[in-house]
Amino acid sequence: MRLLVTGASGQLGAYLLRELRGTDWQVTAWSGSRAGTLFGVPLQPVDLADRAAVTTAFRDAKPHAVLHAAALSSVAACQGDPERAVQVNVAGTRHLVELATVNQARLLFVSTDLVFNGEKGNYTETDAPAPLSIYGKTKRAAEEAVLAVAGHLVVRVSLLFGPSLIGKDSYFDQQVRALRTGQPINLFEDEWRTPLAYPTAAQALRQLVASSVSGLLHVGGGERLSRLEMGHRLARVLQVDPSVIVAGSRLAASAAEPRPADTSLDSTRWCTLFPNVSVPSFDDALRQMLGGTDGPAWA
């Protein structure tokens, strides 16, 4: 079975390629611009905004399934260049849906908890999206394109965390370094998420793309935590002094777009469909990842 993974050179994409090692999938990996290999898989630079290039690359790949994880995912980048955000996140996804549908390939689209405005929290799949940011709005528009075709699947993932596997620091890496070196870090006490470790997200997406589940699904961690509490728990696992953590408010942050207060996800449907899935606690996930040795794998 042939699987196309988009966004393969991103933080989540690297974990996906690592998770897919040793499976029956024959993987084609698209990256935004980076060539080389990652976990033994050649990376093919494909710009999702280039319709002709996407069509050609898709026909060459001949996938039975598509795991679409590519996006202009920085909230700030989307706000700074909304036209590019629409080209990549919306038009690029619509085109992939068209290609997958015509070629009878199943498509799994990785979406975000930021399609919600954060006024409620503990969101289920039946709650109405109301994104605040351009990023969230483009992801919601992309969701609609996927959900318009029977058989495809939208998976909203919550805040992802973990060490980078691509040689480019993640926000998690920056936090770890700051705590270990005693550098002050400011964390919001009034923003809540259901954080999910990269390895758990990758395992879930591998299982889901091979399943027959369609429609909409939430995949998040089992605990609703504030940014501040995440930082204190990280300090505890690292066994470092947490006094360098400074509590702050998202309302006082200088940002061009508002930050939603609580985009925690209810993942009951996912856990019901996959009762054998293992979702470690936040602390256990930290211990597992920080003790791991499978680091950057660029070539």
Give catalytic residue positions.
Answer: 135
The SS3 call for residue 18 is helix
Residue 248 φ/ψ region, left for φ over 0, alpha for ψ in the -120 to 50 degree band, beta for the rest: beta
The SS3 call for residue 100 is helix
> Residues near 112 by Cβ (< 8 Å), separated by ≥ 6?
73, 135, 136, 139, 156, 157
Tokens 């498509």 appear where?
107
CA distances from 280 to 162, 194, 227, 234, 252 (A): 13, 12, 18, 15, 33
Q: Rounded to whole angstroms, how far apart are CA atoms 195 and 223?
A: 7
- Give the phi and the psi of residue 217 in degrees, each rounded to 5: -145, 140
Other residues' Cβ atoms within 10 Å of the Cβ of residue 83:
8
